[in-house]
């Protein structure tokens, strides 16, 4: 009986020691950030003419590259526009790439993601805004 008690006490000591190490001494794991950079939602939605007489209403967000700011907060942007300094240029790129496309390109997940990639590349190429992604946060096709 004494031997069983000794084994139980040894196991209990090991469990307590393991927990103490895990809680106090083990190195803390760093939490991974899932989105690097800032998500900037353009405050004014897009109302677009699609092919075949259809319409789309789209809200667009940019995942800005780390270190990329949304611009100066000192200047008041025009009504409906946000703080991103080159937002009018970005809006033109979005409008040019989405106007006249068939509605199926916006309702198909794969085609929509392709359009987002095309817009992102053009924004990075033609403006000073550096992005990690373009997201359609809201989308209605009529």
pLDDT in tens, 75-117: 555 555 567 888 999 999 999 999 999 999 999 999 999 999 9
The residue ranges of every structural domain in the chain are 38-141
Provide the mean pLDDT of the chain. 85
Share of the chain above pLDDT 90, in %: 56
Is the model more confident about 14 or about 60?
60
Helix axes 109-126, 87-98, angle to 10 degrees: 140
Whole-angstrom distance, CA of residue 59 vs CA of residue 35 = 19
Provide Rg for the chain, Cα atoms: 26
Which token pair is 116?
A: 């987002």
| Cross-strand bridge partners of residue 63 | 39, 133
Band (71; pLDDT cuts 50, 70, 90): low
- Looking at domain 38-141, which of 3.40.190.10, 3.30.450.20, 3.40.470.10, 3.30.479.30 is its CATH number? 3.30.479.30
Rounded to whole angstroms, how far apart are CA atoms 45 and 34?
A: 26
- Give the pLDDT score at 62: 94
Structure tokens at 119: 């817009």
């Amino acid at each position: 009986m004494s031997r069983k008690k000794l084994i139980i006490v040894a196991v209990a000591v090991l469990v307590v020691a393991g927990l103490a190490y895990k809680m106090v001494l083990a190195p803390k794991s760093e939490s991974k950030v899932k989105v690097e950079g800032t998500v900037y939602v353009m405050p004014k939605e897009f109302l677009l003419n699609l092919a075949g007489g259809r319409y789309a209403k789209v809200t667009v967000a940019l995942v800005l590259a780390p270190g990329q700011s949304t611009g100066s907060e000192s200047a008041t942007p025009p009504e409906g526009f946000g703080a991103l300094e080159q937002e009018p240029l970005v809006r033109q790129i979005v409008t040019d790439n989405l106007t006249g496309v068939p509605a199926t390109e916006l309702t198909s997940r794969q085609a929509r993601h392709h359009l987002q990639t095309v817009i992102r590349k053009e924004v990075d190429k033609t403006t000073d805004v550096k992005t990690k992604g373009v997201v359609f946060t809201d989308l209605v096709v009529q």
